[in-house]
Amino acid sequence: MSSFFNMGRFGRNTRKKDTRPPAPQLGGNGQALNGNAAGFSAAGGAGTNAAGAYGNDGATVAGGSAVNRPLYLCQPFVRTALVKGSFATIVALPKYVEQNEWLALNIFEFFTHLNHFYATVAEFCTPATCPSMSAGPGLDYTWLDQNRKQMRLPASQYIDYVLAWINNRVNEEALFPTKAGSTFGPNFLPTAKTMVKQMFRVFAHIYHAHFDTIVHLSLEGHWNSFFQHFVAFGREFALLDARDVEPLAVLIQVFQQQQAQQQAQQQQQAQIQAQAQAQQQHQQHQQIQAPAPQQHPQQMMQAQQHYANNGGGYHPSNGGFYPQAAGLPQPQQARPY
């Protein structure tokens, strides 16, 4: 039985109806054929540069004009996160779980959370403010229709088409099986890659165009952690290529450096704590190995008898014995035993 079945159909239709532009008629059964998914190129869309040539990665790379540092790379926002350290243990395939099951579950979760995050900035993403699906200066994504004709859409419409397309694929039984005894078909992995690639483009647009709104809502910690989790998962299972993540490559590199520093600090703190604990245990061991004389009553009684037989006595104020032989000084305030 598919573990994805346990979610049930109730959790898979997450988008509200009639609140956003309708998705285009993508045609066919929507399954990926020859590495292409319905409505997208192999890279999930196409891009144009200033000369009109189409790039294989579906993006437009600018001619290299100088721009100001984007807000999401500025302090303290770039360091704000809910999760500190590496996401390796979070995204790793659990034991006894089939990989496609793990991919399906996480893709569904990423899609659900991304849908909610986009809802917080949707009112600021309009055709007037975002006339194109931009992911930085000089980089625009275009949509492929049924005839593989490129359409330059406003960002809000492009994102709505992406979310609608992913929602349809998630609810397609042949791709995301939920019935007992069902298995994942050969088109699942190519379609999953296209889903992740398109979701990354939504991340890129929100970072470049709406991160100020994220900061205004005090969501930068949640957003940064969510993005790091998403990228870590995509790289763990080879769902994202280097060209796919290029619009946010600098941010990803900064996050990786921060994670390495946090891991080094955690290891250093662990070493300091281990050394302090070892020193404390050593001191306790020495105290046990070298007890005070009064902790051995049998030896005290034997010594007392020896000194008593030789004219000595016990002086409890200083915790020891003193002789009373002739010619030796006596303590001024000797207490009787």
Q: How far apart are CA 3 and CA 180, in angstroms?
A: 9
Average pLDDT over residues 152-156: 93
Q: What confidence score (pLDDT) does residue 47 get?
A: 41
Q: What confidence score (pLDDT) does residue 308 get?
A: 62
Range with lowest mean pLDDT among 224-233, 279-288, 290-299: 290-299
pLDDT tens sequence across 270-289: 778 777 777 777 677 766 66
40: burial class by Cβ within 10 Å (0-12, 13-18, 19+)?
Answer: buried
Residue 238 clears pLDDT 50, i.e. is over it: yes
pLDDT tens sequence across 123-149: 999 999 999 999 988 889 999 888 888
Residue 241 clears pLDDT 80, i.e. is over it: yes
| Exposure class string for 139-177: b at 16+ Cβ within 10 A, else e | bbbbbbeeeeebeebbbbbbbbbbbbbbbebbeeeebbb
